[in-house]
Amino acid sequence: MVEKYDRLADGFSEIEYADPSRYAERRATLIVETGPRLRPGETVLDLGCGDAIMARPLAAHGLRYSGLDASERMLEAARACNPGLPFALGRIEEYVPPEPIDAAFCLRTFYQPADRAAFFRHVAGYTRRKFVFDFRPRTHPAGPVVDDLRAAGFRHVELRPFFLPQRRHVPGAAVPLVTALEHGGPVASLVLRRYGRLFCAAWR
């Protein structure tokens, strides 16, 4: 796995995302707003940060960012884009930050640890306010994911649809339509059967 991401590190976000800034800004909003709202000055830890595309939009919300990744090449890219920010090399299922974190989040990476329930317990051990991650419910059905969160001690869970395409450009005028669809109740549930992700916030 690490070798794969070492190879992908050069230009990772530009290749992975049709519109890297817009995608990261929308995800930052969901990290802040899903579950208990984050406040300026709070700390956030990006688990599997890649090249740290989330650092800038979360700083724009006044949050104090740090990142963790198992790939040294990804961390080199992250540091080059964000001089002065703290990054650590390590595995998300093992790393413990030097101090408790207000919010930990894990984007497109939560499925990497072999023991999901143990990973959730581990994150719960150092997270003060909430843990946020995203997943495709067609690949990881939401019911068992939520069961594992509750078993890890997270009593509250909020799930929110996220439909902004990762790899296809959406014209600016269409973005409000995509956002409206995310709030579409039963329509959003129907769309999720074929498309999109869920953002999940869990807290005690």
Ligand X SMILES: C[S@@+](CC[C@H](N)C(=O)[O-])C[C@H]1O[C@@H](n2cnc3c(N)ncnc32)[C@H](O)[C@@H]1O
Q: What is the enclosing helix (H) or strand (E) of 197?
A: strand 197-203
Inter-residue contact 74 to 3 (CB < 8 Å): no
d(C-alpha 149, C-alpha 163), whole Å: 23
By CB under 6 A, name the one of 28, 74, 123, 192 that touches ligand X: 74
By CB under 6 A, name the one of 22, 64, 91, 140 that touches ligand X: 91
Stretch that binds ligand X, among 65-73, 121-129, 153-161, 173-181 (CB under 6 A): 65-73
Shortest distance in whole angstroms from residue 50 CB to ligand X: 3
- Residue 32 φ/ψ, nearest 5 degrees: -70, -45
d(C-alpha 95, C-alpha 122), whole Å: 9
Stretch that binds ligand X, among 34-42, 102-110, 181-189, 192-200 (CB under 6 A): 102-110
Stretch that binds ligand X, among 48-56, 140-148, 164-172, 196-204 (CB under 6 A): 48-56
Task: Decide: is 148 part of the binding site for ligand X (CB under 6 A).
Answer: no
Inter-residue contact 159 to 30 (CB < 8 Å): no
Task: Decide: is 112 part of the binding site for ligand X (CB under 6 A).
Answer: yes
b/e map 145-154, b = 16+ CB within 10 Å: beebbeebeb
By CB under 6 A, name the one of 28, 32, 63, 92 that touches ligand X: 92
Task: Decide: is 1 part of the binding site for ligand X (CB under 6 A).
Answer: yes
Which residues, in sequence order, are bridge partners of residue 105? 46, 132
Residues in contact with ligand X by CB under 6 A are: 1, 5, 48-50, 53, 69-71, 74, 91-93, 107-109, 112-113
